[in-house]
A and B are shown apart, each in its own frame.
Chain A
């Protein structure tokens, strides 16, 4: 859901962009109550205090086994400690799983669990709890979105309380990476049984903060988990999340001190932030991207040359300047600069001449017309209009059809479209950003793209254990996908987060999740 959700919610304010400009200039000139601490030296963390966090939409569910929205992960990362964790450079590190072995040609993963960890309800965290969670997620009757992550699991066993043995049907090099996400966030089986279908309103994990209260559309409160396994952490007593769906308002809330941290900054306000000493911010390449999906099973995009013509006709840098104020990076593959699989050399030039050549090859020297579906919000519509004018220059007529997000997703999944404008929030392992999207019959393969060579390359990449070997396969697959153009990648979206200088120990991650176990306020 991820970047799409962000877009949908960001949209409400587009009509107010002019005013947003006013807001940002005021932020620059008006003093705030917090003092700058840009030159601070390392200080000892201070315990206590409440952190007020602005988030760009409300949570959907607090049950990791039933969640698919990016925003839910903002809460999960602090309520649930995943089995493995990601570093700020997106490498997989030990966490509740302290070490592991991979045997049987990459098909058997043995996970060794940390001793002495308890769930927030006081029950022990152990191998049985992990297996209980995964069995629940794999049970078709529970309709968990996590099921696809565990599709390769053949059997699970627990030789002792601190060891989980996972037998896979085939080697799967992204398996450890999956354990850093919601699949690795283990709920207390006692709480799951107690609350049943209402568990999503009463989550219990092993993370640094425990759930206290959630008033939908208003706020959610987490409190320090006294049973947390990392002694002395977390430092904060309390976190209050406030959903603020209007990005300008969210930014204003930070400027006025109503919140201490925000999960996204409107692109037009970033330049004012960098000159504002009373606020801090960081900008990092994100894992996500925006793209057009072209239905390869329907005219006109069942002709590869029509698809390729669009690839050449779009000036991605111009889109970046217009819509992202220069803060995005033009995209050509599914692997963003935050990923080890990123290759800046895989790209196509912006060229009307090459686009027209492709149109001639397709047998449409004067162009063709098609309809692009997009989310009905001003930001997306602006992007669609920009693409429309780019394509018109080479004779391609694009009709814009704005629909609401649920309809867009339904049509995309059902193949009921010629082209649509979507995005993907991205995952740390390249397999999670490519395999299900590009392989024949893949579960996220909305364009119905099929190429045996790509299938084979992505399967080899998934089964290989060496990162350098995998990278070669991903490069080859990405180059083919780029030129066959079932997707027209547009831009990689950055993660930009801002906070007040009283907040210490906060790090911005490429996945955009705000981790608060090390954060303290002074």
Chain B
């Protein structure tokens, strides 16, 4: 297992390098210049040139790339072109928001998906299954920005139960933190739960037909024990795969959700960096998020082995 983990972590390096090359090229080749963002309408060509020189943007692109990569290798992600803040500290102040949002969304999706998926599989083609299928369809089809505004309308504006935006750090107030995250977490969790629930239902139905389940039943084991302890454990492997695959998509959804709920996470950082052409911030954030996704997938692989001991890594 340990050599496998080491091999996987080493294999992150070329992937991360490709991410850096692609991000760097795309943002630098796209039209626009951060000097125009900073100088606004008052940008005369002379002022733009002076600022370009000051920001090191007049050097050839390959030279800027070499400088950037050599800095990254030394652990230096650079500073924001707009306000001079170190990119790493910008990321680290935002990362907890996005991580907490993502983790809670996955947990919430499991809380929804496990019972609905299991019940639907346990009673296939009954009203329970139909309701679960309908919920899953709606969950997967509703765009999350629309769902977000709908939830805000009901729970914040009409009922005034929950705040519609903002963020309280966990260290300041646990209750305040959680209450601000309820709506964004639901927005992110519902589509995820919809897919997970359907995958779980299908897989569980498949597993429940297998011989070892029939053996377990023949031994007179309680039906729920058969479903949960014998069936579910094996049905979870594809579910974990789906969650792993959805982490990338989830981070995409976080961008929109963070904007709507004004949460100071990575999503907002990336979006603003794109609009402002803040190259170092964008390069650094994308690299960081790519590494997070890669590590999450590594964890998914490890969870496989835990769920199904027959899976071995060479």
Contacts and interface: CB of A to CB of B under 8 A. Distances in A.
Interface string B57-95: 000000000000000000000000011110000100110
A74 to B, nearest CB: 15
A101 interface: no
A19 interface: yes
Contacts of A215: 93, 264
B272 interface: yes
Interface string B20-54: 00000000001111111111111111111011001
Nearest to B274: A404
Nearest to B37: A406
Given A15-B145, A19-B149, A68 B165 contact: no
Interface in A167-218: 197-198, 200-201, 215-218
Contact of A201 (B83, B152, B259): B83
By secondary structure, the A interface counts as helix
B260 A246 contact: yes
B259 A12 contact: yes
A27 interface: yes
Contact of B84 (A60, A198, A411, A424): A198
B96 to A, nearest CB: 12
Contacts of A30: 157-158, 160
B202 interface: no
B31 A410 contact: yes
A365 to B, nearest CB: 36
Contacts of A413: 36, 43, 45, 48
Contacts of A147: 47
A1 B40 contact: yes
B262 A27 contact: no
Nearest to B262: A244
Interface stretch (A247-255, A316-324, A356-364, A488-496): A247-255
Nearest to B32: A406
A22 B156 CA distance: 13
A383 to B, nearest CB: 19
A299 B36 CA distance: 26
A141 interface: yes
Nearest to A446: B41
A350 interface: no
A154 B152 CA distance: 56
A469 interface: no
B146 interface: yes
Nearest to A406: B32
A106 interface: no
Given A201-B84, A406-B36, A23 B153 contact: yes
B165 A249 contact: yes
Contact of B158 (A15, A26, A218): A26
B153 A143 contact: no
Contact of A407 (B32, B90, B152, B158): B32
Contacts of A140: 46, 50
A274 interface: no
B76 to A, nearest CB: 16
Contact of A197 (B43, B84, B146, B259): B84
Contacts of A253: 164-165
B277 interface: yes
Contacts of A249: 152, 164-165, 260-262
Contact of B157 (A2, A256, A404, A407): A256
Interface of A: 1-2, 8, 12, 15-16, 19, 22-23, 26-27, 30, 58, 60-61, 66, 68-69, 140-141, 143, 145, 147-148, 197-198, 200-201, 215-219, 242-246, 248-249, 252-253, 255-256, 258, 403-407, 409-411, 413, 424, 443-444
Given A23-B153, A252-B156, A258-B166, 6 more contacts: A140-B46, A245-B259, A404-B275, A406-B32, A409-B37, A444-B42
Interface of B: 30-48, 50-51, 54, 82-85, 90, 93-94, 145-146, 149-150, 152-153, 156-158, 160, 163-167, 259-262, 264, 268-269, 272, 274-277
